[in-house]
Copies of this chain bind each other. A is one copy, B any other.
Amino acid sequence: MRKVLWGDYPAAELRDLAARDPIVVVPIGSTEQHGPHLPVQVDSLLVAEVARRAAERGGDETILVMPTIWTGLAEHHMGFGGTVTLDYSVFHALIRQVCVSLTRQGIRRIALLNGHGGNIVALQLATGELAREIPGVVATATYFLLAEQRFAGILERQDGVRHACEAETSMTLALRPDLVDIEAMRTVDAPAEGMLSPGFHRWRPIEHWSDSGVIGYPPAASAEKGERLLEAAADAVRDALVDEELWTPPAAQVTV
């Protein structure tokens, strides 16, 4: 198996790797409530695993995976405890300085791989703001949206990832069954949908939609399903990463 974790290498080898124009993936998760049955590390655990698996199947491309940024925008989960949250300005500054550190080493292809719904708009915005400043390309995606179609063929009770749901519970069962409370998983009461409204958008805490902090159907989870989801996610991320179009340099110059 390839050694893909940035942290596992000595600096001199990273200098050599940097010279080969690698893709560097920064996994970005969260530490936040995931219902009564899942540990608060779920988003960070899963995105790190997906990033690692995607990198290992990089083929001709060298893909390296940074340590995981384990906190993002999770204010809407604060009411349940166990959660750490950042303001956008700090989240943006942290990601910016990680990217700047990498580009100072010659890295020109950075993928901010996200695993937490609350980070999505923040990362879209941050990617745009970094584009003006940072040499090379900084791209972002959320692994479970990249894998949406693949996941639809695996999940039985949901058509996509919700929160602490069939999908996230399955993947956690595959990786850390010791951290899943099976009894709570089977009995948790949760709505099928939430956190989205038609019409005007307004910030709401997750308890507006769900008393348990869960959205989706955890009882349908299984470790076997989780393994398939992780593999599907890794494939989806890998495919998206090795798309040459993604990394073409920006147009030669801005007219104005």
Contact = CB atoms under 8 A, between A and B. Distances in A.
12 contacts: A10-B184, A15-B82, A15-B256, A71-B97, A81-B105, A83-B105, A83-B256, A86-B97, A88-B129, A105-B256, A131-B203, A141-B199
B90 A199 contact: no
Contacts of A213: 11
B84 A202 contact: no
Contacts of A32: 11
Interface in A114-149: 121-122, 124-125, 127-132, 137-141, 146
A243 B202 CA distance: 12
A125 B88 contact: yes
A98 interface: yes
Assembly stoichiometry (copies): 6
Interface in A133-174: 137-141, 146
Contacts of A104: 78, 256
A7 B78 contact: no
Contact of A35 (B10, B125, B141, B201): B10
Interface string A79-111: 111111111111001100110011011100001
A195 to B, nearest CB: 12
A217 interface: no
Contacts of A243: 199-200
Given A75-B132, A105-B82, A199-B243, A34 B11 contact: yes
A115 to B, nearest CB: 14
A202 to B, nearest CB: 4
Contacts of A46: none
A87 B93 CA distance: 10
Contacts of A201: 124, 127, 139-141
